[in-house]
Amino acid sequence: MERSNRHLMWHGMFLFLLGLFTGFAEHSFANIRMGLAAHLEGVMNGTFLLALGAVWAHVHLPPAVKTATYWIVLYATYANWLMTTLAAVFGTGALSPITAPGYKGQPWQESFITIGFMTVGLAYVASSLIILWGLRPRAHALTT
């Protein structure tokens, strides 16, 4: 198995575990609903990394692009869990009308969480498009 596969799966299990621990603490957060969201982000992002690790050998991209995508995915998954957890701790409502109705943190907290979520969203979209490109049928023929 390629080393990157195992690393993605290790990070998947670690993030899954962080999500479980976040679930234990969700009642301690300023915004309990956002705490639940943070728990779910950890568990779901961990599962995503496990699945990505399982197919990583089938993602055919130039080495530099594949390496960059690997790091972008790790940033997106960990930062998603972290930003959601910080939003729960701060009690911010940034970009979260469903999980944070009526919540508002300090202006710097709202800005920090908004920027964090925006970068996470961009990282997810970019990495998903690149991975999809690397999984296309013709990609295997071009890299072998």
pLDDT, tens digit, 9 for 90 and up, residues 19-43: 999 999 999 999 999 999 999 999 9
Q: What percent of the chain has pLDDT over 70?
A: 94
Rounded Cα distance, 21 and 1, in Å: 29
Half-sphere exposure of 121 (CA within 13 A, CB side): 7
Rounded Cα distance, 40 and 23, in Å: 8
The pLDDT value given to residue 117: 95
pLDDT in tens, 95-141: 777 777 777 889 999 999 999 999 999 999 999 999 999 999 887 66
Q: Which residue has the higher pLDDT, 92 or 70?
A: 70
User: 1: pLDDT confidence band, cut at 50, 70 and 90?
Assistant: very low
The pLDDT value given to residue 143: 58
Whole-structure pTM value:
0.91
As to burial, measured by CB atoms within 10 angstroms (0-12 exposed, 13-18 middle, 19+ buried), residue 119 is middle
Q: What percent of the chain has pLDDT over 90?
A: 78
Task: Answer for the pair 81, 41: CB distance below 8 angstroms, yes or no.
Answer: yes
